[in-house]
Amino acid sequence: MIPHFAGRVGPGWDQLGSRTPADQKSDVEHYPLSKRPLDYFKMFYADTAMFGAAHALRCSIEFFGVDHMLFASDTPFDPEKGPGYIRATIADLESLDLTDAQRQAIYEGNARRLLRL
């Protein structure tokens, strides 16, 4: 959901503590951030389980970057007990304007790198 709320999370959380009442300042001052809150979200890894919503996958890739996307399908929780969501996820990825290297990174390369395999 974060890519869809980036406008709210970014500018909204940039103000963290600026309007906090004086008696509650200590609640937010104990955790100083060295980056914008939005930049921490961009460090997350996201998956591709969008169930046939290529536009949502595109949004996630644009927000997190290809190098922070991992192939996932939520198998076996589709009506076919697995293959339907896998096909939908592959179709979503194949429909996007990605290079072969970018697809390979999402399909397996990023997971291998992250898991040091």
Q: Residue 83 and residue 54: Cα distance in Å, rounded?
A: 17
The count of structural domains within the chain is: 1
The answer to the question of residue 98 being in a domain is yes
In the chain, % of residues over pLDDT 90 = 56
Q: Is residue 32 in a domain?
A: no
Q: Which residue has the tokens 């979200």?
A: 41
Burial class (CB in 10 A: 0-12, 13-18, 19+), 26: exposed
Domain of residue 88 covers 40-117
Calculate ∠ Cα 6-14-23, nearest 5°. 130
Mean pLDDT of 60-88: 91
pLDDT at 61: 97
CA separation for the pair 93, 95 (Å, rounded): 5
Q: What mean pLDDT is predicted for residues 15-29?
A: 80
Q: Is residue 105 part of a domain?
A: yes
Per-residue pLDDT, 37: 86
